[in-house]
Amino acid sequence: MTAAVLSEGRTVADDLSIWPASTTRLPHGGLAVGGVSLAELAERFDTPAYVLDEGEVRGRCRTYRDAFPDAEVLYAAKAFLSRAMVRWVDEEGLGLDVCSAGELELAVTAGFPPERIVLHGNAKSPRDLESALRLGVGRIVIDGPSEIARIAAAVGPDGHQKVMVRVVPGVSAGGHDKIRTGTNGQKFGLSLTDGGAQHAISRILGQPQLELTGLHCHIGSQILDVKPYLVALRRMVGLMARVRDAHGVVLPELDMGGGHGIAYRPGEPALDLTALARRVRRELVRGCAAAGLAVPRLAVEPGRAIVGPAGVALYRVLAVKRSGEKVFVAVDGGMSDNPRPALYGARYAPRLVGRHSTAAQCTATVVGRHCEAGDILAADVELPSDVHPGDLLAVPVAGAYQLSMASGYNLVGRPPVIAVDEGTARLLVRRETLEDFRSRDIGG
């Protein structure tokens, strides 16, 4: 079969548009990221492995700060978190949003200022709240009515905690039903349409130890269009005006969440960040002027858009199997290190690296090593027809929601994370080993 062709006669294999900006071609089909050969990284650290371009992460943090100069930019830790990631985000001037005591304590013990942290979660555990109050997080986002009394009791009559209310604005947006969180009838937030958000606001304002600083909404993930954000923004400003009218309280903050979509394959669209920032700011100013409100401080929460394009996954081919018309290329990782294709049909563009092939392209499905028919990493992709065991495949845009969602399925062990920057490589997170599994299993 012929190779998939892009504009100007280029094939998919030639296109580096979705790779980190530091990516360069090497002789004999090799690629380097951050000045380091991917083939050499695979030899040094083994496979599967995840490579994270520090310069790309820092550059994307700066892009957000430049796009939203008057807003608070909070990195969404759920996309990927490590001590090094905490340090990079801190040094680039971003805040942090976390969803558990684990994420919170890792960040604070790595030196991140707790007052620049926001705690989320639809079902916060006692440990989550205890850690947040003990460490002094800047905001706790209240996600349900029961949290109001729980937080107030934990704070105590003489305590003080800043909180926000997560509002469901009734906006459908996102790349898949499982990652659309702005509509009614799902587990997150308090509904605007049934009065749940308004009732929660009234209750919070009656708790003197809780300071309601603003409203929060997050309408979904992998959103590629600006319009849903504008619709949600209008509804949030309308609610802020009703809070002012009903309670005489002008809320100073508005957090519009994240979900900014990125391209996973060449030719795919990504959310236009410049347009988003410009149009959100314009709509916020216009809406507040019409309602007679002071313009609140805006916050956004990018995660995937910062770390996703900075990551590359490396796999070694274990087997090639032809079954009828289909070609299956099996690698040494799979759904235990990247469950996204199995969970919601994510699509990737793997590439042969480390050797140059002159063979014609064929349509293949890259599958993992796990005992599940759904363990597919990339369906119907173009690879050289001479792909064989021992070959190295690299998958770009692998930084978000892969290792952070990884599991111990089949006791394979989670891969390491290697940072690259200006020609150097260093291990950030070591490979999970059989000894790790044995040491946790204390039964007999």
Tokens of 147: 């949290």
* 371 belongs to the catalytic site: yes
| From 99, 217, 362, 371, the catalytic residue | 371
Q: Which residue has the tokens 């009559």?
A: 157
What is the per-residue DSSP string for 245-279? HHHS----EEE----B---SSTT-----HHHHHHH
What is the signed CA dihedral for 106, 107, 113, 114, rounded to 10 degrees? -70
Q: Judge contact between 296 and 368, C-beta under 8 A.
A: no
Report DSSP state, residue 14. Answer: G
Q: Judge contact between 413 and 366, C-beta under 8 A.
A: no
CA gap 331, 315 in Å, rounded: 6
Q: Judge contact between 260 and 175, C-beta under 8 A.
A: no
Tokens of 376: 């597919």
What is the per-residue DSSP string for 273-302? HHHHHHHHHHHHHHHHHHHT-PPPEEEE--
Report DSSP state, residue 4. Answer: P
Q: Judge contact between 118 and 137, C-beta under 8 A.
A: yes
Tokens of 201: 């606001």
* Contacts with 279 (C-beta within 8 Å, 6 or more apart), sequence order: 226, 229, 230
Q: Residue 426 to residues 26, 36, 41, 415, 421: CA-CA distances in angstroms?
A: 21, 11, 10, 14, 9
CA gap 40, 395 in Å, rounded: 16
What is the per-residue DSSP string for 88-112? HHHHTT-EEEESSHHHHHHHHHTT-
Nearest to 132 by CA among 163, 92, 165, 167: 163
Q: Judge contact between 181 and 170, C-beta under 8 A.
A: no
- Longest Cα separation, the chain: 73
- List, by residue number, the catalytic residues: 371
